[in-house]
Amino acid sequence: MIRAGIVGGTGYTGVELLRILAGHPEVDIAVVTSRTDAGLSVATLYPSLRKHVDAVFCLPDVEILAQCDVVFFATPNGTAMLMAEALLERGVKVIDLSADFRLQNAREWCQWYGIEHACPDLINKAVYGLPEVNREAIKQAELVACPGCYPTAVQLGFLPLIEHGVIDSQHLIADVKSGVSGAGRKAELATLMSETGESFKAYNVSGHRHLPEIIQGLTCAAKSPVKLTFVPHLTPMIRGIHATLYAQLNTDKGDLDIQALYQQRYEHECFVDVLPPGLHPDTRNVRGSNNCQIAIHQPQGGQTIVVLSVIDNLVKGASGQAVQVMNLMFGFAEAQGLSTPALYP
C-alpha cells in the first residue's frame, strides 16, 4: 500500500483522480490539498465520493506532502514547478498532470505559457508519461510529465504511421474536438452551457499550447522534424476528445495493409483498442474509461489515410493516464484500478 497526495483536488482532473484512486487496492489517499477549501472534507464538497474518500482538504505544504510516496499535481500550469524539486529531494515521486515538464526546451515553454520556468534543470529529468511510448523509462522515473488530452489522442493516432515512415510527415493535419471539461472547472463565460450548447466552434487556430508538445512527440517517433496543422474545436458535450487525423501515404506504400500495421503496433496495449475495418469510434464508447479507440480509413482506396482516435479527456487524457503511470512507477499491474468499462449511455 502506498500513500498518495493530490495537489489541486477540486478541479475536474483532481476529482477524477480521487474517484479512480478510491477504488485502487494499493493506494491510500493520504493528502488532498486546496487553497480555497482547506478544512472541508472531500465528501462535503463532492457527495459522490461519500463513503469512498475520507480525506479533508488541507493547504499545500511540502512537509505534509513529503509524507506521501507519490504526489499528483492536478493544478494549473506554473504550480508543480514551484514544489516538485523540494518533494523529489525528500524522496517523493511526482506525477504532474499540468504542462510544466512536458516540453524539453525551457525557452519554448516560456514562449507558449508566458512565464519563466522556475526549475528548468528538472525538465531533462522528467519522463514524458505516454506509456505506449515510454513504458520502460516511466518504470524508472522519479518525475513524470503526463501528456495533455489533445496530444494523447493525436499521438496515439499517428504513431504507427510515423514510426514506420509510411507517410509524408511534412503534411500532417489534426482536426480535433473536445468537450468543455477540457477547459477546467473555472467559471468562464466562453464555457457556460448557454454559450456552448447548440453551438460548435474552432479556437486557437493560429497556435494552441498543445501544438509544440504534439510536434515534439511525433518528431521523436519519426527521428526527424515533422510539420503539423492542428485545429482544436469546442463541442457542447462534457467529456470526450475526437481526433480526425489526415496523412498522405508515400507513393511507394500504396499496397501497405494499414489496418494490420495498427493492430500489430497496439496488439499488447491494454488501453488502445483498434477497431475492425469500416467502424467509426464514438466518444460515448470511451466515456469514463481509460481507453483509446482508433479506426483507420482510406477513402476511395486513395493515398489519404484518415485516422479516428477517441478518448475521455479526463481519464486517458489526464487522470486515468496518471494512474496508469503510477502503476508502472511502483511495479503494480498496469491496468490496476483502471479496468472499468465505459459508461453507457
- Enumerate the active-site residues: 149
The span from the CA of 51 to the CA of 47, in Å, is 9
**Residue 96: strand pairing partners:** 73, 145
Residue whose C-alpha cell reads 529531494 in the numeric block: 89
DSSP string across 118-169: S-GGGGGGPEE--HHHHHHHHHT-SEEEPPPHHHHHHHHHHHHHHHTT-B-T
Supply 156's cell numbers. 496515439
Q: Are 294 and 307 in contact (CB under 8 A)?
A: yes
The span from the CA of 332 to the CA of 77, in Å, is 29
Residue whose C-alpha is closest to residue 68's, from 82, 52, 83, 78: 83
